[in-house]
Amino acid sequence: MNDKEPSGDGKLQFIKEETERLEKEGLLFKVKTIESAQGSWIVVDGRRVLNLCSNNYLGFANHPRLKEAAQKAIAEFGVGPAAVRAIAGTTVLHHQLEEKLARFKRVEAVISFQSGFNSNVATIPALVGKEDLIFSDELNHASIIDGCRLSGAPTIRFDHCNPRSLEQQVQANFADCGKRRALIITDGVFSMDGDIAPLTPLVELAERYRAMIMVDDAHGEGVLGEAGRGAVDHFHLHGRVDVEIGTLSKAFGVVGGFVAGKKLIIDHLRHKGRPFLFSSAVTPADAAACIAAVDILESSGDLVDRLWSNTHYFKQRISRAGFDIGRSETPITPVMLGEARTAQEFSRRLFDEGVFAVAIGFPTVPLGKARIRVMISAAHSEADLDFGVEKFIKVAGDLRLI
């Protein structure tokens, strides 16, 4: 051990260097601590602030009916799943949730997982292997990228939301490939920009080239389509998308993920989806709360309507104030600021003004495209949104950005 390594940690020097680099580039972030229930106003690090960055689209994270369902499930089933789904972790509530979601999504079948991330990681390797090909939108979510890597299949990226680019890649790489399988993957709604994938031409292309198609609709569930049935419903493509990935942690307000689609694929995942086989199930309370969320959505689209009216209200006002909100078409509203340092400073000052909205930088978004990603919720009032816009204007003025 030498002077430079008082704790014998010289082998971990690379972590210190990486941390210093991130700090220098403004990419090191400190995670804030939430000290209250989710809602439009929350307590963060001891301060009550307007919440503009949760994925709690419909306000379900602290909804009385979901809480009551979870409490009842705890009373009846206890707190833990005690096993993976494939052994002793599947309760009647997990089955009920899957059946309910299948009816809601208008698909043949659904299988639920512990998260949206796990749902991607379970599904992609179950559909393609190293002999096959994946065509993936260049801005697809990290969990899709990891699922592609795990599958071992060569992954060809196509230009963002560009069916022509996809077709060129398919023609160049797949058209005459005999027995190889191909899987086209896209987000339904892109999580950092809030734009919607052009699903109709993508599905037509998949049909023309006999490729499978998968849509990750983590940010479309509860947001797009009739009463929040998602992007596939929005484009009237029922039965033409092989498999959809959903999350129960955003609009549904709880935690978990699911895969919805053709029964053949869903049954296959019960044997091949590794997180189903090797990682414990979500708790009965989670499943019960999600069932209550679907019940509410099935009985009324009011919250979804409210989410959209809030979205239009905020977007109109923030754009009118001179902010660039990129290509957003959904409640995800990126306020583009460029350099990561600027976005971090902006977020810090917003917090000082009573608004919680985190900065997002590389590698979550490309270098030079840092932003504050505002997430609108049905739980916000118009007065909340006015307060948010007013503070964005103030901070931009203080920083001489507008």
Instruction: Give catalytic residue positions.
Output: 191, 219, 250
Cβ-based nearer residue to ligand PLP, 145 or 321: 145
How many residues make contact with ligand PLP (CB under 6 A)? 13
CB of 116 to ligand PLP, least distance (A): 3
Q: Could you say which of 40, 115, 186, 283 contacts ligand PLP (CB under 6 A)?
A: 115
Q: How far apart are CA 113 and CA 286, in angstroms?
A: 11
Interaction between residue 360 and ligand PLP (CB under 6 A): no
**Cβ 158 to ligand PLP shortest distance, Å:** 17
Residue 328 binds ligand PLP, judged by CB under 6 A: no
Residue 197 contacts ligand PLP per CB under 6 A: no
Rule CB under 6 A: say whether 195 interacts with ligand PLP: no
Residue 117 binds to ligand PLP (criterion: CB under 6 A): yes
Q: In the complex, what is the shortest distance from the CB of residue 278 to ligand PLP, in angstroms, rounded to a whole number? A: 17
Contact between 191 and ligand PLP per CB under 6 A: yes
Residue 228 binds to ligand PLP (criterion: CB under 6 A): no
Residue 220 to residue 22: CA distance in whole angstroms: 32
The residues in 140-169 that bind ligand PLP, with binding defined as CB under 6 A, are 141, 143
Residue 119 or 342 with smaller CB distance to ligand PLP: 119
Nearest to 108 by CA among 270, 266, 294: 266
Residue 257 in the binding site for ligand PLP (CB under 6 A): yes
- Residue 54 is given by DSSP the state -
| β-sheet bridge partners, residue 243 | 214, 261
* Least separation in angstroms between CB 79 and ligand PLP: 20
Beta-strand ranges (E) seen in 142-211 are: 155-158, 182-187
Q: Does 116 bind ligand PLP (CB under 6 A)?
A: yes
Give buried/exposed letters for 173-183 (b at 16+ CB in 10 A, else e).
ebeeeeeebbb
Phi, psi of 100 (to 5 degrees): -65, -45
Alpha carbon distance 280, 112 (integer Å): 12
Helix, coil or strand: residue 180: coil
The answer to whether residues 244 and 261 touch, using CB atoms and an 8 Å cutoff, is yes
**Torsion angle of C-alpha atoms 43, 46, 52, 57, degrees rounded to 10:** -30
- For residue 187, list its beta bridge partners: 216
Q: Which is nearer to ligand PLP, 248 or 350 (CB)?
A: 248
Question: Using CA atoms, how far apart are residues 386 and 369, in angstroms rounded to an integer?
Answer: 26
Please say which residue, 221 or 233, places its beta carbon nearer to ligand PLP. 221
Residues that bind ligand PLP (CB under 6 A): 115-117, 141, 143, 187, 191, 216, 218-219, 247, 249, 257
